Chain A
Amino acid sequence: MENAADYALTLTRRSMLKAAGAGTLLAFALPVRARGGNGFAPEQSALQTAYLRIEADGTVAILTPDAELGQGILTTHAMYIADEMGADWSRLKVGFSGAGEIYTNPQKNLQATGRSMGATGYFDLLRRVGAAARVQLVTAGAQKLGVPASECDTRDSKVVHAASDRALDFAELVEAASNVPVPDDPPLRDDADLRYIGRSMPRQDVPAMVRGEAEYAVDVQRPGMKVAAIRACPVFGGRVRSVERDAVIGMPGVYEVIALADAVAVVADSWWEASRALTELPVEFDEGDAADFESDAMMDTLVAQLAQPGEQVLEAGRDGDVDSALAAAGDRVLDAVYKAPYLAHATMEPMSCAALVENGRCEVWSGTQSPMQSRDAAARALGIDAADVTMHRTFSGGGFGRRWQTDFVVQAVSIAREIPGVPVKLIWSREEDIRHDFYRPAYALRFRAALDDDGGINALHLRVGGASILEAMRPGMLGGRVDPTVIAGLNDHSYRMANSHVEWVPHPTPVPIGVWRAVSHSQNGFFLESIIDEIAHAAGVDPLEWRLRHLQDSRIRAVLEKLAEVSGWDGPLGDGRGRGVALTDSYGSIVAQVAQVSVSAERQLKLERFYCVVDCGRAIHPDNIRAQMEGGILYGLTAMMHGAIDVRGGSVQQQNFNDYRSLLLRHAPPVETHIIESGHEMGGVGEPGLPPAAPAVTNAIHAATGIRIRELPLERQGWRLA
């Protein structure tokens, strides 16, 4: 695979004109401002659109509008286009598009990678892009062969006329095909004719990854490039008061010291030289208003507010009369508080971004999840037009929502502005990465439940307290409404109950917060699925059986039934071992998991095995779905076991992987995933694997020991992994 920048496909003037007359399919793909890669592609091709190009040798180059975070989207999008085109899988190359409106995900009107929508959102669009190219190729090929186009098809990067056993390679047809008008509404292939979609095609990017050749933003190299290290005020919201530039400016390799509003950067020949100078650079900060913020105290306040919310409480769902039902149940009401801490993303590649500012224009190299917002943020920071910002997208060393933010992009271009004409690559230290994240907010939830005579739920009251992510991203946007990024997973479940009430107590925080893999489901899955387990236990019913009895949605029950079968749920387990079950419905996919654990008297926990069943409607790439389930589970288990960010005096106390720990290979349970293709609308898979993981384990711990876990992470309650 080549560096994406080598063949980034932009709309050349010619292809723009071509597309302009091309009817509705490509008409959406027109904005002149859409730029990609480093200007125009070095190799121009006659047949070229925003998403694909056929090169002179017949290679089909495909560009994804999404970020590759490990979810395999380069491959998925290549499957969509190549399948419709009839392109040979071994004659593809894949890369990243530029940034722009042309690349908008139809499901969210934005080019941005998140909410598990990369496979679903582009499914129709990219197939149509591929189908349009196929029609052009077939038309051109049929003409050359002197046969009707209706007798031809494409296969293995050839236009094939089966009746006469003749074929023409794409390479021979590029020029002629480009003169065929782009069809308005090209027919898509029947499912039976699909050769890639639905199959586990080998990922296009993996060979480069195992050679160490995939280019991440940290790897970007340009002639004359400098490298920057940065240190922000450790207290959130703090400002730089003074910097003693001269103290380090003569140090070996040091090129420049740059003070931003809230951070200082050293630019040097190497990152180590920049970083070393930064540690010796005398800086004074004005700490600002957050300097007395303590996350422990905030959690205590949150919990107190759950008992006495006053007027701040917002209604997120009400059915029946919960208050009367709970009052009638008297002291048989289950009543407990759950807690989930702040979490950092800790992507393996720390935040990084390269930039060049010169003559009122800017180039950015980044593995961002939000290319359009990054482009616009860079333009705003520099006071230039978005059209004058060129986004070069690289691989992302993990995203998990962190690279949705644009802070590091703004930093990079702000540094680059001070050294015009010099390309500069900003790389955060791991410490900076842990301490200046946009964290998964901390939440507390109180539940009160009353059972009916059959062991079902007569009444359930859920009251969650914590900050709004949407409000943090754009103050005022909620206008007093309930934030779905807080509440989703609590008020939209399938459990049957006569009376229910869901409330949210908003609690703003000075801690920067943002989206973290699975967003609200990451904590709400733990809350609700633990609560359901408590209820089942109180009812004296097996927790999986209880769910089957009380879930209203037959599709969800089918997932659970499959899980019971594959996990051997009813089979015997020895002493000190337990099974736990949890299920969530998120991002259009239903995922249920069984964790099998063993537990010692000293709270040594062995994660023996995971069983996972996912119904994502339609399975585009089964092996990749399995990989995403494995990854979601592991990310969830790491948070469950170790994940906690503490803020004291307005600054994060954790620093690196020694105190913000990850599960290691020796801890990782084997995961057995089964996929159900129910034929329902296609759902995402990047996030839905995560939410059931933690409650499946904590429910298993309860099954094994009777200990109910209501607060994460486990290591804070004395648990250790075996």
Chain B
Amino acid sequence: MQKYTLKINGESREVEADPRMPLLWVLRDRLGMTGSKFGCGQGLCGACTVHVDGRATRACVLPVSAAQGRDVRTIEGLSADGDHPVQQAWIAAQVPQCGYCQSGMIMAAVALLERNPAPSDADIDEAMTNICRCGTYDRVRQAVHDAARRQASA
């Protein structure tokens, strides 16, 4: 066990963990932040997607030792009132079904829009590789476009 100081959603958090413990489980089981979901443990499905230094990152395969000193942003830190343009667009399109993959889906979409404010369909295809078993993909695509418009007019 080692002590780590993590910067999560702008706050400094102290945790004690094995250096190999994935960030996802530090968030969920050490810090009680359960918005980021566990889906595969292998970085395959994206349900655990968070931002590390602004990049969409699969927290289930990122050791806590590698997160030290970097800016971590989770779904809990996306907005104070759930009104980030991407969240608004998700509600407008009624994207979620079971909802389980959507924290990761939203974090991936936010990261995409932060580096590419007006993504094309092809850009969305390339960036949005999260798995959704409910089949919300077409609505995700529409919502990403809608969020881009919302951000442009904000």
Q: Taking beta carbons and an 8 Å cutoff, which residues of A are in contact with B? A: 68-72, 200, 202-203, 205-216, 218-219, 221, 227, 252, 269-273, 275, 346-350, 395-400, 427, 429-430, 623-624, 627, 630-635, 638, 656-658, 662-666, 668-671
Contacts and interface: CB of A to CB of B under 8 A. Distances in A.
Nearest to A200: B94
Interface in B105-137: 106, 124-126, 128-137
Nearest to B142: A670
A398 B44 CA distance: 17
Nearest to A630: B135
Given A271-B28, A398-B134, A219 B99 contact: no
Contacts of A72: 97
A208 B42 CA distance: 26
A623 B135 contact: no
Contacts of A202: 91, 94
Contacts of A207: 82, 91
Nearest to B89: A210
Given A271-B25, A400-B133, 5 more contacts: A227-B29, A349-B38, A395-B100, A430-B39, A665-B124
A68 B99 CA distance: 10
Contact of B140 (A429, A624, A665): A665
A398 B32 contact: no
Nearest to B87: A210
A171 B36 CA distance: 37
B40 A70 contact: no
A623 B32 CA distance: 34
B152 interface: no
A252 B138 CA distance: 44
Contacts of B129: 664-666
B103 interface: yes
A11 to B, nearest CB: 29
B98 A273 contact: no
A635 B132 CA distance: 10
Contact of B91 (A206, A216, A427): A206
Contacts of A668: 135, 137-138, 141
A342 to B, nearest CB: 17
Given A214-B99, A396-B98, A397-B98, A348 B18 contact: no
B99 A218 contact: no
A348 B125 contact: no
A206 B90 contact: yes
B135 A270 contact: no
B94 A657 contact: no
Given A397-B100, A662-B131, A670 B38 contact: no
Given A205-B99, A221-B34, A633 B126 contact: no
B97 A631 contact: yes
Contacts of A632: 135
A42 B95 CA distance: 33
Interface string B74-110: 1110100010000100110011111111110010000
B43 to A, nearest CB: 10
Interface in B29-86: 29-30, 32, 34-42, 44-45, 47, 74-76, 78, 82
Interface residues of B, number: 57
A689 B47 CA distance: 25
B135 A634 contact: yes
Interface of B: 1, 18, 21-22, 25, 28-30, 32, 34-42, 44-45, 47, 74-76, 78, 82, 87, 90-91, 94-103, 106, 124-126, 128-141
A430 B141 CA distance: 26
Nearest to A203: B94
A349 B100 contact: yes
B30 A216 contact: no
A282 B22 CA distance: 24
Nearest to B122: A666
B98 A70 contact: yes
B21 A270 contact: yes
B93 to A, nearest CB: 10
B44 A656 contact: yes
A394 to B, nearest CB: 11
Given A398-B133, A666-B125, A668-B135, A219 B34 contact: yes
A627 B94 contact: yes
Given A270-B21, A630-B139, A657-B40, A216 B100 contact: yes
Given A212-B76, A221-B34, A429-B41, A398 B100 contact: yes
Nearest to B108: A665
A218 B40 contact: no
A624 B39 CA distance: 25
Nearest to B103: A212
B87 A348 contact: no
B37 A349 contact: yes
A658 B100 contact: no
A236 B95 CA distance: 38
A84 to B, nearest CB: 24
A211 B9 CA distance: 14
A177 to B, nearest CB: 33
A424 B105 CA distance: 29
Contacts of B36: 212
Contacts of B95: 206, 210
Contacts of A666: 125-126, 128-129
A563 B8 CA distance: 51
Contact of A210 (B21, B34, B90, B139): B90
A210 B41 contact: no
Contacts of B131: 348, 657, 662, 664
Contacts of A347: 98, 100, 133
B75 A211 contact: yes
Nearest to B127: A665
B96 A209 contact: yes
A272 B29 contact: yes
Contact of B75 (A212, A219, A396, A638): A212
A34 B32 CA distance: 31
Contacts of A623: 94
Contacts of B45: 348, 430, 657, 662
B38 A395 contact: no
B135 A635 contact: yes
A348 B133 contact: yes
Contacts of A397: 37, 98-100
A270 B29 contact: yes
Q: A-B pairs with the 4 shortest C-beta distances?
A: A212-B35, A634-B135, A70-B97, A397-B100
B37 A630 contact: no
B36 to A, nearest CB: 7
B142 to A, nearest CB: 9
A472 to B, nearest CB: 23
B122 to A, nearest CB: 9
- The CB with the most chain A CB atoms within 10 A, among B76, B91, B132, B140, is that of B132
19 contacts: A200-B94, A206-B90, A209-B102, A212-B34, A212-B36, A212-B75, A219-B28, A270-B25, A271-B25, A275-B41, A350-B39, A429-B41, A627-B97, A631-B97, A634-B137, A657-B40, A662-B133, A666-B125, A670-B138
Contacts of B28: 219, 270-271
Contacts of A273: 18, 21
Nearest to B102: A209
